[in-house]
Structure 1
Amino acid sequence: MSVKALREYTDLGLIYTLGRSPANYRLYDTDALWCVRLIGELRGLGLTVAEIRELTAGWADGAGQPVGSHLAALLSRSRERVRQRIAAQQQILDRIEKFETEHEAHLAEGDLCWAGDPRGCDLRA
């Protein structure tokens, strides 16, 4: 994990330091290491830092819904975001394939002019 990320997570209250070293470095204990691993895993599952803060705030309060059901809801939200990104990327793939099909001959020849190209493609045809 980058130093920048450690600072951000510390500043957001996601991990805690033991203080500072004589050289003014932040000091972390094994609990902080566990939190860093958990944050990394949750980020790897697509949760945002804001969602992780939301999850940890609910756990730290002891109030509200249990962490498990809250995490399940956040994972569901993350899954939907991933599906939306996949759908958007699929649309791009579809447009690439359509473009390649429509311009197959020009792509094979290595010369592709756009309709109405102001640089004189019409003259080269």
Structure 2
Amino acid sequence: MNASRTRPMTVGELSRQTGVPVKTLRAYTDLGLIYTLGRSPAGYRLYTADALWCVRFIDQLRGLGLTVAEIRELTTAHLHGPDTPVGAHLAELLHRSRERLRQRIAAQQQTLNRIEKFQAEHRADLAEDDLCWAGDPQCA
């Protein structure tokens, strides 16, 4: 392991290496999703290379649609009790994410259908240079 990977990183360095904003990293730290070594003499939060893995894993889970609250739920369950295996818990969270996504897709499909219906009903009006709504006093 090279020296830059073994020395602690500040939150700014962690941000540069992961592309995650400092504000987000501070929030993850405050939520207990990533851990610090403590603070430097100047008061900066210090992180180990393990934080790189944690941030990348959080980013991957966020990319799968999990909320920060769900990720916290997963880590809390893992740290505080062996009642539910992590894999089973993650599978449930992925199921929830999938269902949310399906609902969003259905809502977007409804919007798309409304657009298509509107365009079909107002095809002639939309083709004109100046759209005039029925009942609009400025169009009389």
- Give the TM-score of the pair, scaled to structure 1: 0.91
Structure 1 residue 44, shift from structure 2 partner = 0.5
Give identity over the alignment, percent. Answer: 74
Q: Distance in 1 between the 2:64 and 2:42 partners?
A: 36
- Find the residue that maps to 1:114 and give its secondary structure: coil
2:88 corresponding residue in structure 1:
69
Q: Deviation above 3 Å: which 4+ runs of structure 1?
A: none
How much has 1:23 moved relative to structure 2?
3.4
Alignment of 1:1-125 (within 5 A): 1-117=20-136, 119-121=137-139, 123=140
Q: 2:31 & 2:74 partners in 1: Cα distance?
A: 13
- Give secondary structure in 2 for the equivalent of 1:58: helix
Q: Deviations over 1:25-65 (max 9, x none)?
A: 21111111111111000000000011001000011113221
Instruction: Please give the root-mean-square deviation of Cα atoms over the aligned residues, in Å.
Output: 1.2
Q: Quote the offset at 1:109 in angstroms.
A: 1.1
Structure 1, gaps ≥5 residues long? none
Which runs of 5 or more structure 2 residues have no equivalent in the other structure? 1-19
Separation in 2, partners of 1:7, 1:95: 42
1:15 partner amino acid? I
- The worse-fitting range, judged by mean Cα deviation, of 5-14 and 22-31 is 22-31
